[in-house]
Amino acid sequence: MTTKQLISEIKKKQSFLCIGLDVDLNKIPKYLLQEEDPIFAFNKAIIDATHHLCVAYKPNTAFYEAYGIKGWKALEKTINYINENHPEIFTIADAKRGDIGNTSTMYAKAFFEDLSFDSVTVAPYMGKDSVEPFLAFKNKHTILLALTSNQGAFDFQTKEVNGKELYKQVLETSKTWESSENLMYVVGATKAEYLAEIRNIIPESFLLVPGVGAQGGNLQDVCKYGMNDSVGLLINSSRGIIYASNGADFALMAAQKGKQLQVQMAEVLSKQFQ
Ligand SMILES: O=C(O)c1cc(=O)[nH]c(=O)n1[C@@H]1O[C@H](COP(=O)(O)O)[C@@H](O)[C@H]1O
């Protein structure tokens, strides 16, 4: 999917919501465990109930890898289900990969070709030759970790190296790489106060912003400082939506939580883009 198509979908749905499909078998309704593939059954119900409210789905691969071959199969069924039924939805494999060049190429093939995701999250710390193999894929997107939502972001990312914070060096350097138009960046919603400065460095790029809901990030602050002329934001919520209930009404309740965020997003968009 191109960025242009993503922006057009955001405007159409009046939403820049990304729903995180982080499936934990201990948290889903007990009766689903009798299904042949409980993870896929859960995801299918969530997707059926929420696809009109969001523009992106983000399965975090850890929640699938943890269940071995069955988990990986469920991930494959989930991405195929989204691509077949809702091809207009942007898909993110949240895998946080990155390695020496030839290995990164294999990671990119796994997520872009075998699983047909639109994007994958990548850690920047092995540098240019570890990221460019992902960028080489046309109409696919590499979402680089810039300033993450967790407390540990302060251990390295905000530390100054040669007079400049490391996350700023990640932003400035990565935008000079080949095919950098395929880059997006992760900035945690819990770091909203950094967004204005981040926008000075990368005014055009899309930001994936996790951390609203369960981690306490604030949607209004993220929009105020992070939005650009093309919206430029995908705001993710995982647990806050998919575990709204663990009863038979789980999908309905997830849709209600998703709707609450979508309504707030529509309000922001109507003010910003009249
Ligand atoms: O890359 C990510 O998506 C990510 C980066 C980050 O800085 N913080 C962060 O929480 N995430 C992911 O975003 C999701 C957040 O989930 P909730 O806190 O349940 O909404 C999880 O899949 C995290 O792994």
User: Residue 40, exposed/middle/buried by CB under 10 A (0-12, 13-18, 19+)?
Assistant: buried
Question: In CATH, what class is 3-269?
Answer: alpha beta
CA dihedral sign, ordered 109, 114, 118, 121: negative
pLDDT along the chain (274 residues), means of 10: 97 98 98 98 98 98 98 98 98 98 98 98 98 97 98 98 96 97 98 97 98 91 96 97 97 98 97 84
The answer to whether the predicted template modeling score (pTM) of the entire model surpasses 0.80 is yes
Atom 12 of ligand 1, residue of closest alpha carbon: 210
Measuring CA to CA, which residue among 230, 235, 257 is closest to residue 16? Answer: 235
Residue among 22, 187, 233, 237 whose CB has most ligand 1 atoms within 8 A, to mutate: 22
Give the separation between CA 41 and CA 32, rounded to whole angstroms.
7
| 3 state DSSP class of 138 | coil
List the catalytic residue out of 70, 73, 77, 96: 96
183 Cα to the center of ligand 1, angstroms: 18
Max Cα distance, the chain (Å): 57
Within 10 angstroms of residue 100's Cβ, the number of other Cβ atoms is 12
Q: What is the pLDDT of residue 214?
A: 83
What number of residues does the chain have?
Answer: 274
CA dihedral sign, ordered 240, 183, 15, 222: positive
CA dihedral sign, ordered 148, 55, 226, 112: positive
214 Cα to the center of ligand 1, angstroms: 10
49 Cα to the center of ligand 1, angstroms: 22
Q: What is the pLDDT of residue 213?
A: 82
DSSP one-letter string for 57-85: EE-BTHHHHTTHHHHHHHHHHHHHHHHHH
Give the separation between CA 151 and CA 120, rounded to whole angstroms.
23
Measuring CA to CA, which residue among 63, 154, 197, 262 is closest to residue 185? Answer: 197
Identify the bridge partners of residue 177 per DSSP, sorted by sequence position: none
Ligand 1, residues at Cβ distance < 6 Å: 20, 22, 60, 94, 121, 148-149, 186, 188, 210-211, 213-215, 236-240
Q: What is the pLDDT of residue 137?
A: 97
Residue among 238, 239, 257 whose CB has most ligand 1 atoms within 8 A, to mutate: 238
Q: What is the pLDDT of residue 45?
A: 98
Going from N- to C-terminal start, the domains of the chain cover 3-269
Atom 24 of ligand 1, residue of closest alpha carbon: 60
Residue 86 sits at the vertex; the CA angle it makes with 145 and 97, to the nearest 5 degrees, is 20
Nearest-atom index, ligand 1, CA of 148 = 7
| Complex ipTM | 0.99
Q: Strand pairing of 160-161 and 164-165?
A: antiparallel
Q: What is the pLDDT of residue 273?
A: 84
30 flagged as catalytic: no
Nearest-atom index, ligand 1, CA of 212 = 20
Only one residue has tokens 């806050």, namely 240
Q: What is the pLDDT of residue 24?
A: 98
